[in-house]
Structure 1
């Protein structure tokens, strides 16, 4: 199979600047380095560091597209107007330049990473004979979305990252024929990297970094510090839990690009005793396992409908007990006794506080949940079969 992977206009591939979607594309490329299952061409925004990193991939060709243009701000404004008026129009400099490159090649499949609005443009310029698959990482094609039907109709396949997203796509499809285009391709992680080893347990980065006593119970959150991730609710729940168990400590790993939300976080932290909550900024993805190894439990209380939950699966692979909400795809991940699910309703903070106290006080339950989680992560979300599963989904009628 000869396939093109068209990445987004936000971050480059290889994933030198992070990004969940970009990291997942890297996993596909790593698979192909070992197995050589396909001839892959990657289309990415231009980036010097990414271009240097790309040289290590021997079985993938890279097309770095210069996305800089004086038209970008105007196009962004027009796109917002089109969206508000529910018009099926989309302007994008990077996409237009990528189309010109794509036309120079013949591909069995063109795989579009998480950009449904690219699909109709590609279909228009590449014709009906081009086979185009949308790899959908977010809840962009629901029946509430005005462009969902036309995007599904213009796609040959829609690969959804979870059962939740797959169901939403099928609900939005205009016909039974379009429903059959939907297939599930779960996100994956490198379970060899995300595993607990004796070295990381003995080193315990978190305890050493913050001089925590051996009997301290470490609650860890990691990921983007944003409203939909429930970080403020976690701090408020922790405040309640601390009154019942003074040995609890909360550590947050991640960055926020929302100053107003971060101010709310800081205000909530000021109401707590000194040094009860610690915030670590961005941690390189490759260094995360060392930090996760030091946690006693992990709290990821999303308050939106998570399309998948990579941080949940990374925690599972580390054999860590996870507390999260029954939102979106999370029940798919933490089902089968792999974590604790709490209701995402008006009593979220109370329920989360109770769960923190209960799980911190029960080492046997933590161990049981962690072992179940690791087993499921290895069986269901192992990146070693990611590319072969992708090819199978594409080739299945």
Structure 2
């Protein structure tokens, strides 16, 4: 099978690019082409899989594939910010084009609920995946406790609140907080907080993907203090794969993704949740084991890629075929 995966986010740092690259790696029986150019449809693939439902590239790709009568699948990776006027315009266009595809995937029930507002088609939930052979638990032998944040340095991720919220907890437990992410101005702000509020903080900046398994394994708990709706949370399943439990805010898909592998709580109860878990090493280990089991059963790329491959075959066999206007 020749599969064309398209997204304007291909080749850019972020979850969609990671998803496309990893999925293509686990579909090794097939010819998979990754591109950010809708003209790539001219290579005559058997199926077009577009990642991100609400971009101009998505709409052009759907239109072009329909003209050539090539089946199209769209994966929704996001819950769009309603305060963004540009996204509102794209959402309006989405209502026109999304009913013309053969199948729609959402990476979570939260993402499904969102996109279902803009299409009459059934939406299939197939989550993001993680390489469980690369992200695996390694033996931890250290006395000090470590909290970890991995992700974008942005206000909506809530990372700027971690130092003020957890400074007392870090001092009382003699624990350290490690923050990673790429944004020089944001890093300067965090370093200023570190100097003025709490010394038990390390701001590492950008960490290459190759080092992430080591970092997750070094940590005792991963933190996700997101302030806005999360459509998934790839860092959550990477952490769980390493048997490192996650404490996250109850936003978007995080509760449905983390489940027995961690704790989801309101932002104002975040410090208490961290303190309680730091005080209970047995529970940290238990949540870690449960998280790894959850990932192996539902989020490993072997499982996720097989589900997507089966959907490709179902669409090509006509099980989800619809006639398109030419």
Q: So what's the TM-score if we normalise by structure 1?
A: 0.71
Equivalents in 2 of 1:273, 1:240: separation in Å?
8
Moved more, 109-118 or 307-316: 109-118
**Aligned alpha-carbon RMSD (Å):** 2.3
1:276-308 deviations in whole A, cap 9, x for unaligned? 111112221122111111111111111111110
Residue 148 of structure 1 pairs with residue 94 of structure 2: yes
State the match for 1:281 in structure 2: 205
1:375 to 273, 290, 293: 293
Kindly name which structure, 1 or 2, has the bigger radius of gyration based on alpha carbons: 1
Q: Pairwise mapping of residues 310-389 of structure 1 onto structure 2 (< 5 A)?
A: 310-335=234-259, 337-343=260-266, 348=267, 350-389=268-307
Does the 8 Å contact 2:231/2:253 carry over to 1? yes
| CA displacement at 1:18 relative to structure 2 | 4.5
Equivalent residues of 1:31, 1:386 under 8 A apart: no
Provide the residue aligned with 1:300 in structure 2: 224
Aligned to 1:4: 4
1:11: Cα distance to partner?
A: 4.6
Q: CA deviation at 1:240?
A: 3.3
Residue 194 (structure 1) aligns with:
135
Aligned-pair CA distance for 1:25: 1.7
Alignment of 1:30-179 (within 5 A): 30-33=25-28, 36=29, 38-44=30-36, 95=37, 98-99=38-39, 101-103=40-42, 105-114=43-52, 116=54, 117-128=56-67, 129-140=69-80, 145-173=91-119, 178-179=120-121
Contact 2:52 2:78 in 1 (8 A): yes
Report how far residue 141 of structure 1 moved: 10
Q: Does 1:20 align with 2:12?
A: no
- For residues 246 and 278 of structure 2, the distance between their equivalents in structure 1, rounded to whole angstroms, comes to 11
* Residue in structure 2 matching 1:219, options 147, 160, 182: 147
In structure 2, C-alpha distance between the alignment counterparts of 1:40 and 1:381, rounded to whole Å: 21
Please give the secondary structure, in 1, of the residue aligned with 2:124: strand
SS at match of 2:50: strand
**Length, aligned pairs only:** 307
Cα–Cα, structure 1 residues 393 and 127, in superposed 2: closer, same or farther, change >3 Å? closer
Q: Is 1:241 aligned to 2:241, yes or no? A: no
TM-score by length of 2: 0.86
Q: CA deviation at 1:106?
A: 2.5
Q: CA deviation at 1:217?
A: 1.4
Judge conservation of contact 2:130–2:301 (CA < 8 Å) in 1: yes
Seen in structure 2, the aligned counterparts of structure 1 residues 379 and 125 have a Cα distance that, compared at 3 Å, is: closer
Residues 303 and 325, structure 1, Cα contact 8 Å, conserved in 2: yes
Unaligned runs of 5+ in 1: 45-94, 203-213
Residues 140-179 of structure 1 deviation map (CA, whole Å, 9 limit, x = unaligned): 4999732331131232222111111112222322xxxx32
Q: In structure 2, list runs of 5 or more residues that go unmatched.
A: 321-326
Query: 1:320·1:370 contact (CA, 8 Å) conserved in 2?
Result: yes
Q: Note the C-alpha offset of 1:263.
A: 4.5
Alignment-derived partner of residue 63 in structure 1: none
Q: 1:295 to 1:124 in 2, by over 3 A?
A: closer
Counting only pairs closer than 5 Å after superposition, residues 384-395 of structure 1 correspond to structure 2 as 384-394=302-312, 395=314
Q: Which has the higher contact order (CA 8 A, sep 6+)?
A: 2
CA drift at 1:115: 5.2
Q: Distance in 2 between matches of 1:118 and 1:18?
A: 18
